[in-house]
Structure 1
Amino acid sequence: TFIVNPRVQEFCSQFGGKDLWEVHQSLANMDRISAIIYKQRMLHAAAGQSIAGVAAKWELERLTMNDPYIKDFFWDGKNLIVICFFKTQVEVLSRSKTFQVDMGFKRIKDSNIKEVLFATYQPEIEKRKFKCFFTFLRVFVNQESTRMYYEVFKRVFTLLRDVYHLPIAWNYLSGSGFQAVIMDMDTKQCPGLGMYLASIDERRRPWQEHIKHIVIYCQVHLMRGIQETTSDDDWTPESINQQMLDLVNCQSKEDYEDMCEEFEGILNILGMY
């Protein structure tokens, strides 16, 4: 940005100032409040608040702090991966049997940056109507693709294993460790995880095989889809909503197809299909 442009800084230093308004009063085109905000931003993020600012913060904190929040930074000019956590968070993750992966957008001002959240639901500390999630780590990326998810899983679990020496294992592969990963029915997340697991599998089975053993699809989005289809908020055992949700309990492909045909007929009668 303009305020951290090397030529602007060089110009200021030539005249004994750090900022334009210190060079000459006529260059101070901001009111006092804006000037204070500007100064604080420069103190806390001298390299700016974009990718360059994150890189500078990562470089500084990993040299000066025992447990910096930014644990890994990757930027090749096109692909961005920033992994953030505190050690105590991932220690809890390493002892967990399951975790959830979700893509978030709401917390990020830059529409090009997305947040991948590793977390778990904690029903024992749920308060009132608000569900409590414990966050293990956050990964900030600038794209959403199968390859990106593969790189995220690879970098996260390699970091936890090799740098923090945490026992990262997968129950269906080694008999201990993670038993399930909860994620959306996403065409990028699942293949990305499957590709990572295939890369550490001595038998080199295809990624689709790994997904069968480890992934549990999140029912929240399925429930939303059902409710949007039926326009009904009734979830009693006899309701059409709950009966459709029971599809997840089918034990065979044949049972699933039979139930789908039954629901198709019901929805046709109700004028919903």
Structure 2
Amino acid sequence: MSYTNFVNKEDIIYEEDLVSEEDNTEIYITKNITVKTIIHSLTPLEYPPTSEEGTAIIYHVEGWQNIEMAFEDVQYSMGLPCGQNKTTCTYLGDIAVIKKDRTCHGVKICEFADPELREMEHKSVDPNSDLRLRMSKELSTDNVNYNTFAKYLAAYKTECRYMRDGVQCNGKPILKCLRRHDETVPPSYFIGCTGWRMNEKFHRFISIKENVDLNLLQQLLNGLYEGETDEPVNNCYSVFSNSTKRIYCPHPHRSENTITQGKLMKKLCEVRFSKLIPVDIKSCPFVILISKGIHTHPPPPPNQVPVTIRTRLQELIHQANNDNTDVTPTHIITGNLIKTYFGVEYLSDIHASLNNTDRLRYYIDKIQKEIHPQGQGLLGVVYNYSQFFEDEHVIIVCTTSEQLNEWIKCKHFQIDLSFKRVMGEINEFEINYYSNEHNLILTFARVFTNRAITIAYQRIFRVLFDLVLQLTGSPPQFKHIHGSGWNCIIADLDYAQAKGLGLALNEIDNTKDWEEHLVHIFRSCLVHYKRKIREKGYNDIVKNKMIALLTAESESAINQVFDDIQAIEENAADWITFYRQKW
């Protein structure tokens, strides 16, 4: 039965007559660059796909902290020939972009590489199914022959360290056995030195454990190995980034009756990459990565740690550093932070590039240098607890977290500047407390400084208060501000010192000016005041008048004391001027 009666005959189309033609539509990215495939992505791709006609990946980078992630995460080595210019991107709406051109540098493979690896090409990479990157069975760590060859090469690459009369031992490696006469312990084997004599130390010693063919090792060391074939065994599946500094493949290979390490060879590539970054990234939050050509080499190993993983790993190391200043790769690997941050047991489960402990050690060292740029020795202590200002003011703080924890438990303390303990222009400022329990003066911090003016003291107190928070985890508390904490600071009647303290307190609580803060917390030391008077060469009448100033009950009484002293002792003018000044 026909159901086409309601259309004209010329409007009938027969499926058999349809000819499928390949879509040759070209998509213009710029007026000079076209591609056949467009891929949109919200996350960086480590192995961006490519094609002869060109593939463009459009990254939506809004909210990204670093737009370079789109390019930095790429595992392919890129470089010369290259170029850069400003152009217009038609695909993004005729906006101005910076175009950066790079060329794939390929990879390095072993001279004993498997033919499949030598001839390999690819346009895309599926890390879960691409078996061509597998390590061959010959290179398995469970392979006895492989382990034996590795021991042999290690023996010949290791020089004997023994020195006899200033001359280094030139003994050859030899298989030796260590056993007991009573045979109560199984014998153990090691690679020693032909030059060894009884009671001589530091000769070559390489222990031999399981998975080693002792008979094969003996043949190799004695030069009797004949090999299994006259032809080199080309079965190596090792692939290295083109940027590697290696010269030789780390795995041993058989070539006739010789065991050797193959030289690494470059596998070049002509795939071209173009990066397009808008000049105004805020108004157009997209970047484009274009690749053209077919990779004429195996995919490179995942050496680059993706930026997002690297950032998270750095957070983990910072946390580990907060918990333990002596952070090591072992500390992180054996701890719980990996599972806490990434939800897996091992770093290699996060990304294949983290299978190398040296890489983890690199990141730990890098972050340790950021935190402690001068190390963790004496120079590091000086750097971490010192501040240098543009006006050449120097502040060097000596304290510990234990001292600061005890300091914040006190209700009061004393501040004092000493001019005697340090030579030169540096003076010592101390935070002290007299313990009635121990009949001792306890020092909570020492500050070495070369200034004794108001701004200098303000900086000193600011640094000390910041250190309290940094090393104890709690900010300093003042009773007149917070309702609990320090209620009294005892000091000399030093105007610069007192005002510097008041200004530092004003930074904590700006509802009170610096003078009002001092009224609540600042107290002068009577002992120090009286000692200074006794040290002066005044007569007893003047000294008694000066001490009477402490008990004056009104401003008029204070002024009368000053007038009496001035009338009796002309040399007391400076003293009167200092104590008469209003704060």
* TM-score bracket, shorter-length normalisation: 0.5 to 0.7
Asked if the contact 1:161–1:167 (Cα under 8 Å) also holds between the matched residues in 2, the reply is: yes
Distance in structure 1 (CA, Å) of the matches to 2:421 and 2:521: 29
Aligned to 1:121, the other structure's residue is in SS state strand
Relative to structure 1, is the Cα distance of residues 271 and 82 closer, same or farther in structure 2, using a 3 angstrom cutoff?
Answer: closer
Instruction: Say whether residues 1:118 and 2:431 are aligned partners.
Output: yes
Residue pairs, 1:219-234, within 5 angstroms: 219-227=526-534, 228-232=536-540
Instruction: Say whether residues 1:92 and 2:406 are aligned partners.
Output: yes
Relative to structure 1, is the Cα distance of residues 226 and 108 closer, same or farther in structure 2, using a 3 angstrom cutoff?
Answer: closer
Match of 2:523 in 1: 216
Aligned to 1:188, the other structure's residue is in SS state helix
Q: Which amino acid aligns with 2:508?
A: I
Match of 1:47 in 2: none
Following superposition, the deviation at residue 75 of structure 1 comes to: 2.3
Q: TM-score, normalised by structure 1?
A: 0.61
> Could you tell which deviates more after superposition, 176-185 or 250-259?
250-259
Following superposition, the deviation at residue 149 of structure 1 comes to: 0.7
Following superposition, the deviation at residue 101 of structure 1 comes to: 1.1
Q: Which runs of 5+ in 1 are unaligned?
A: 1-56, 127-131, 233-238
Aligned residue among 247, 264, 267 for 2:549: 247
Distance in structure 1 (CA, Å) of the matches to 2:543 and 2:379: 55
Asked if the contact 2:492–2:529 (Cα under 8 Å) also holds between the matched residues in 1, the reply is: no
Residue pairs, 1:91-240, within 5 angstroms: 91-109=405-423, 111-126=424-439, 132-203=440-511, 205-227=512-534, 228-232=536-540
Aligned to 1:59, the other structure's residue is in SS state coil
Deviation by residue 1:96-142 (Cα, 9 ceiling, x = unmatched): 11111111122213x1211111112235544xxxxx42101011112
Q: Which amino acid aligns with 1:247?
A: L
Q: TM-score, normalised by structure 2?
A: 0.31
Distance in structure 1 (CA, Å) of the matches to 2:555 and 2:379: 56
Asked if the contact 1:70–1:83 (Cα under 8 Å) also holds between the matched residues in 2, the reply is: no
* Greater helix proportion: 1
Aligned to 2:490, the other structure's residue is in SS state strand
Following superposition, the deviation at residue 221 of structure 1 comes to: 3.8
Following superposition, the deviation at residue 164 of structure 1 comes to: 2.1
Deviation by residue 1:59-91 (Cα, 9 ceiling, x = unmatched): 3227999xx688512124622111111222111
Match of 1:257 in 2: 559
Match of 1:32 in 2: none
Following superposition, the deviation at residue 240 of structure 1 comes to: 7.5
Following superposition, the deviation at residue 150 of structure 1 comes to: 0.5
Q: Which runs of 5+ in 2 are unaligned?
A: 1-371, 573-583
Asked if the contact 2:545–2:561 (Cα under 8 Å) also holds between the matched residues in 1, the reply is: no
Asked if the contact 2:394–2:449 (Cα under 8 Å) also holds between the matched residues in 1, the reply is: yes
Cα RMSD for the two superposed structures = 3.3
Q: Which amino acid aligns with 2:393?
A: N
Q: Count residues in correspondence.
A: 199
Q: Which amino acid aligns with 1:192?
A: G
Following superposition, the deviation at residue 226 of structure 1 comes to: 2.8
Match of 2:388 in 1: 75
Residue pairs, 1:3-42, within 5 angstroms: none
Relative to structure 1, is the Cα distance of residues 140 and 202 closer, same or farther in structure 2, using a 3 angstrom cutoff?
Answer: same
Relative to structure 1, is the Cα distance of residues 272 and 69 closer, same or farther in structure 2, using a 3 angstrom cutoff?
Answer: closer
Distance in structure 2 (CA, Å) of the matches to 1:76 and 1:272: 38
Residue pairs, 1:39-54, within 5 angstroms: none
* Greater strand proportion: 2
Relative to structure 1, is the Cα distance of residues 133 and 163 closer, same or farther in structure 2, using a 3 angstrom cutoff?
Answer: closer
Relative to structure 1, is the Cα distance of residues 123 and 248 closer, same or farther in structure 2, using a 3 angstrom cutoff?
Answer: farther
Asked if the contact 1:94–1:167 (Cα under 8 Å) also holds between the matched residues in 2, the reply is: no
Aligned to 1:95, the other structure's residue is in SS state coil
Match of 1:61 in 2: 376
Distance in structure 1 (CA, Å) of the matches to 2:446 and 2:555: 36
Following superposition, the deviation at residue 162 of structure 1 comes to: 3.9
Following superposition, the deviation at residue 181 of structure 1 comes to: 1.0
Asked if the contact 2:411–2:487 (Cα under 8 Å) also holds between the matched residues in 1, the reply is: yes
Following superposition, the deviation at residue 182 of structure 1 comes to: 1.1
Asked if the contact 1:84–1:138 (Cα under 8 Å) also holds between the matched residues in 2, the reply is: yes
Larger of the two Rg values belongs to structure? 2
Distance in structure 2 (CA, Å) of the matches to 1:206 and 1:193: 11
Asked if the contact 1:81–1:141 (Cα under 8 Å) also holds between the matched residues in 2, the reply is: yes
Q: In percent, how many aligned pairs have the same letter?
A: 27
